[in-house]
Structure 1
């Protein structure tokens, strides 16, 4: 039996698979598309804050009406709508620093549903700053800035 490759440079799909593997269908830990988007966002945000602005993955996160969204991930999972997403066939393994951040994000946010996480992101500066000047229900593809994530979430660490 071969050992799985340990990932040093994560992609958005690696991070999504990690969280999907944690989810339990039919429980509060089930993962919908909305919840997945927010978990991936928080993984990026906390990784950036802990690693002085270094990104966990390179995919763009935008300030959509329902909170932070990675369009690349949206296109992959949008057909699920509000239904729970099943677990992937395998889960990625990361170097320790990445795993610690992902585990922490799961411990803090994993038991919340997507709507709660949406409301939470709506109260935080990175999403608010990216949507400045937009009506509440306006569509947008404005990117949430990495520096805004780093500055906002770093304040929690101090």
Structure 2
């Protein structure tokens, strides 16, 4: 099952709120999602966990819609889960939706936990530098704004983090 970028971001925000990931800035969230998508695609035959695309931006891979959702934080840590206001179906009011990973999706949860353990220790800037390393999916074309394909992500994960 593919999830919204906000749902996967919320999984990392939850872990940060529990003290499992330090300094979870918007940049760091973007890079954690990138590694999550890359590893999911590699492990599960080119499938996507996130139903959005990453673009090649100056500071590495970015989901544009998530960037706009989080840009108000600047370089400060994200303090709360992402929610959206929606009108109720019967038109009687507004309700808030907070996207999240299905609790029965053990593959997604296990991978998010593993990404948190392996990559969560690094700052957003360090993760950005890692995505720029030669041989990574971002480095194939550099900061040209193009979409990074699922195949590129699955087959070009940072060399020192492939174990």
Deviation, structure 1 residue 91: 7.9
Q: How does 1:15-34 map to 2 (within 5 A)?
A: 15-24=8-17, 29-34=22-27
Q: For the Cα contact (< 8 Å) 1:61–1:69, is it kept in 2?
A: yes
SS of equivalent residue, structure 1 residue 63: strand
Deviation, structure 1 residue 58: 1.7
1:37 to 7, 30, 34: 30
1:11 alignment partner in structure 2: 4
Give the distance between the partners of 1:24 and 1:30, measured in 2 at CA: 10
Question: What CA deviation, in whole Å up to 9, does each residue of 1:99-125 have, x standing for no partner?
Answer: 111111101011111010010010042
Which structure carries more strand by proportion? 2
Q: For the Cα contact (< 8 Å) 2:24–2:77, is it kept in 1?
A: yes
Equivalenced residue count is 143
After TM superposition, where is structure 1 displaced by more than 4 Å over at least 4 residues in a row?
24-28
2:59 to 61, 66, 74: 66
Q: TM-score, normalised by structure 2?
A: 0.78
Q: TM-score, normalised by structure 1?
A: 0.80
Q: Could you list the runs of 5+ residues in structure 1 that have no partner in the other structure?
A: 1-7, 132-138
Flag the 1:25–1:82 CA change in 2: closer, same or farther, 3 A.
Answer: farther
